[in-house]
Amino acid sequence: MYQYNEVDQALVEQRVAQFRDQTRRFLDGNLTEDQFRPLRLMNGLYLQTHAPMLRIAIPYGLLSSEQLRMLAQITREYDKGYAHFTTRQNIQLNWPALERVPDILADLASVQMHAIQTSGNCIRNVTSDPLAGIAADELEDPRPYCEIIRQWSTLHPEFAFLPRKFKIAVSGASSDRAATQVHDIGLHLVQSSRGETGFEVLVGGGLGRTPIIGQVIRPFLEKKHLISYLEAILRVYNRLGRRDNKYRARIKITVRETGLDKFRELVEAEWIRIRGSMEVEVERYEEMRAYFSMPAYKEAAEPHQALQENQNQDAEFATWLRYNTTEHKVPGYSAVYLSLKAPDAPPGDITESQLDTVATLADQYSFGQVRTTHRQNLVLADVRQSELFDLWQKLVSLNLATPNIGTLHDMICCPGLDFCSLANAGSIEIAAEINKVFDDIDYLQDLGDIKINISGCMNGCGHQSVGHIGILGVDKKGVEWYQITLGGSSHNEAAIGKRLGPAVSKAKLVDTLSRILHVYTDNRTTDEPFLDTVNRIGIQPFKERVYANH
Amino acid sequence: MQIIRHAKIVSDHWTHVADGPIPSEGCISVSFARWKNQRTELLSRVDDLGLRVSSEDPIEEVTEDLDRFQMIGLDFPVFTDGRLFSVARTLRDHYGYQGEIRAMGGFIRDQIFFLSRVGVDSFEMEEGSDLDGALSALDDFSVSYQISSEVRN
């Protein structure tokens, strides 16, 4: 993975010093709350319902075991011994004290980490495919490009005070595991008709109150122009984006109000002007690629036989293998999902002791690295198949082996009313209730791939509008109600879910889900996944069943 | 008043004229609208002329006139309005403007490093501000990842 040089290290250390000074001036009364707010947000610090929340960057979701241990130590020393992984591959602390945040940042800097631009109206942490570099369907590893984008966007002097937040995701595979179509900019590595690799550039996707799927602004961009093209989009957006209404300030609205063709014209005019002076040299890409070269894989020594025996002997292992591991481009290896969706734990949460043990397992089984995923799980990407049985046993004792990746239990869930000052309704308790009621593992496996996404308010941190089933918490005169959508997706066939009908009360939510699932099982053809059934039969049959006796 | 120019605290010699009469002598700055309305009258003056630009002013309309201004003041309505950062960079890199670019109005000390990187070379803070502190903010970082339009001398 990428290793900081002296420049990178100096930059994060100087940012710590700057933030320490800003915090001190705020506490001394020399910075007003209004002045401090954007400055602290730009460093991932929110002031929340109970305490500050600090969001720490995990660039494109890649962590070393050393970094995991530091995160474990930080949650012990400054927080309550647990942390929460986000949909953008970052990690959040829920209980740090404001005056100790500079110390947390200093500890992070000691392991090449930071919280720069994890919030605020600036370019956020760049995200990517959790299976980058190992996926069989990959054209090229996107991480070298992610790191170049990370550096370009970090403390970019011109784009620190944008109209609104700005998120970039990069995918190098044919299957989109990075939700690129719902990002402000989505980049896909693609091949031109001449066999050259470059980027398809999407712009104007986003969730929140007005979910919109991104559109292609440029079908093919030569790699050398990556940074100049991003810079051109940002410059046009910075000047054109609305500042009068924060709900109309994202680039998705700028593109919609300007029109894609006109917006493209403006971007390309700027790009043509600046591209000559901003080319990324081939050597720079090569240098960056070297940081993400393949680890020293061992020759596969007939792993399948032992694996088969273990599966035959242990049905639980076989189930876990089916749901929580995925294929690796190198024979004899698998990628392993560590489920952070145990039925008795808040989705995406992890304890300090789990963090420590995962670091040990990463060292032991997966070249000392861990990835975080958009769906709030972890991945050990390079595990020998012959060691899967050992690893599984250890994960079971850690409560990280629930065989539910891709099932109904693998929910995306925001922190909701329990932690967030924006939320209108609880979300963690809804996830817990769903887990409790739908607890028959055979039923879950029969239902197959169903993505439930839950947000406690319309800001949409839980990505409800692109859930196969989306659940949105709304406040009706002080009472929590839930709006349901069906048919959303952030995968290749990206779509915004359709509203089922009037919101349902908390008491009726699980019954409503149950009815939805029955419509599916009654109507599906053999092996037809939930989303396909919804798309085929439409929303009406679901509507009829749900609102029949309500 | 005292301002920061080219990384030094110096006395300012500019008068920012609002709606009142235009003084016949001395270095003055006028708003974008006033320049558009009274261009001929302003050009008949001998002393230096400055243009004050706000976030919404279309600088593209005065590109032919840029060499008539010894100073362009970027007048921040609020510090969170980042449009003028792109205006500064466009003035320097696109139009090749070489005069003084001044940050004024609602910007804050914590933006000075970034402003200098996009080509702002003088800083007019609110009366009573800590100018030494503001001066040190020019050196918040010794390293950067991006290309710079910085002017310090």
CB contact under 8 A, B146 and A152: yes
Would A161 be classed as within a structural domain? yes
Q: Give the pLDDT confidence of A431-480 residue by residue, as tens digits.
A: 999 999 998 888 999 999 999 999 999 888 899 999 999 999 999 998 99
Would A501 be classed as within a structural domain? yes
pLDDT band of residue A300 (cuts 50, 70, 90) is: low
Dist CA A145 CA B51 (whole Å):
41
Q: Give the pLDDT confidence of A337-388 residue by residue, as tens digits.
A: 999 999 988 999 999 999 999 999 999 999 999 999 999 999 999 999 999 9
Would B7 be classed as within a structural domain? no
Strand partners, A380: A336
Q: Give the pLDDT confidence of B81-122 residue by residue, as tens digits.
A: 999 999 999 999 999 999 999 999 999 999 999 999 999 999
| pLDDT on residue B94 | 95
The whole-number average pLDDT for the span A390-416 is: 95
Q: Return the minimum-mean-pLDDT range out of A38-52, A82-96, A132-146.
A: A38-52
Dist CA B103 CA A527 (whole Å):
64
Strand partners, A474: A481
**Structural domain tally of chain A?**
4
- The average confidence (pLDDT) of chain A is 95
Query: pTM value?
Result: 0.95
**Of A77, A109, A141, which residue is a domain's last?**
A109
**Of A397, A432, A454, which residue is a domain's last?**
A397
Give the DSSP letter of residue A299.
P
Sign for the pseudo-dihedral over CA of B83, B86, B88, B91: negative
Chain B hits for A274, Cβ within 8 Å: 93
CATH, residue B45: 3.20.20.70
Whether residue B153 is predicted with pLDDT greater than 70 in this model: the reply is no
CB contact under 8 A, A239 and B86: yes
| pLDDT on residue A550 | 55
Would B95 be classed as within a structural domain? yes
Tell whether B144 is within 8 A of chain A (Cβ): yes
Record the tokens describing residue B77, joined without a space. Answer: 């309505």
pLDDT band of residue A197 (cuts 50, 70, 90) is: very high
Would B142 be classed as within a structural domain? no
In a shared domain, residues A95 and A16: yes
**Helix, strand, coil % (nearest 5) of chain B?**
30, 20, 45
Record the tokens describing residue A406, joined without a space. Answer: 């891709």
**Structural domain tally of chain B?**
1
Q: Identify residue A356 by its one-letter amino acid code.
A: D
Would A89 be classed as within a structural domain? yes
Would A446 be classed as within a structural domain? yes
Instruction: Give Cα A76 distance to the centre of its chain.
Output: 24
In a shared domain, residues A416 and A524: yes
Question: Which chain A residue's Cα is nearest to B146?
Answer: A152
Say if CB A145 and CB A187 are below 8 A apart.
yes
Interface A–B counts its CB contacts (< 8 A) at 85
Q: How long a stretch of residues is chain B?
A: 153
State how beta strands A62-64 and A369-372 pair. Answer: antiparallel
Say if CB A348 and CB A413 are below 8 A apart.
yes
A171 lies in which domain range? 127-289
* Nearest CA-CA partner of A487 in A466, A510, A462: A466
| pLDDT on residue B138 | 96
Would A60 be classed as within a structural domain? yes
Would B2 be classed as within a structural domain? no
Tell whether B128 is within 8 A of chain A (Cβ): no
In a shared domain, residues A99 and A224: no
In a shared domain, residues A132 and A85: no
Q: Give the pLDDT confidence of B120-138 residue by residue, as tens digits.
A: 999 999 988 999 999 999 9
Whether residue A497 is predicted with pLDDT greater than 70 in this model: the reply is yes
CB contact under 8 A, B117 and A159: no
B 75-114 residues inside an 8 A Cβ radius of A: 79-83, 85-87, 89-90, 93-94, 108, 110-111, 113-114
Which among B85, B144, B146 has the least Cβ separation from residue A161?
B85
**Of A109, A137, A164, which residue is a domain's last?**
A109
Would B76 be classed as within a structural domain? yes
Would A120 be classed as within a structural domain? no
Which among A157, A239, A243 has the least Cβ separation from residue B114?
A157
In a shared domain, residues A177 and A232: yes
Say if CB A367 and CB A321 are below 8 A apart.
no
Would B3 be classed as within a structural domain? no
CATH, residue A216: 3.30.413.10
| pLDDT on residue A49 | 63
In a shared domain, residues A314 and A275: no
B97 lies in which domain range? 12-18+26-137
The whole-number average pLDDT for the span B38-65 is: 95
Would A407 be classed as within a structural domain? no
Q: Give the pLDDT confidence of A273-298 residue by residue, as tens digits.
A: 999 999 999 999 999 999 999 999 98
CATH, residue A388: 3.90.480.20
Please spell the DSSP secondary structure of A442-472, one letter per residue: HHHHHH-S--EEEESSTT-TT-GGGSSEEEE
Q: Percent of chain A beyond pLDDT 70?
A: 98
Q: Cα–Cα–Cα angle for A475, A478, A479, nearest 5°?
A: 70
In a shared domain, residues A88 and A166: no
| pLDDT on residue A416 | 86
Q: Identify residue A290 by its one-letter amino acid code.
A: A
Tokens 């031109």 sit on residue = A192
Give the DSSP letter of residue A297.
P
Would B126 be classed as within a structural domain? yes
In a shared domain, residues A132 and A264: yes
Would B4 be classed as within a structural domain? no
Dist CA A256 CA A250 (whole Å):
10
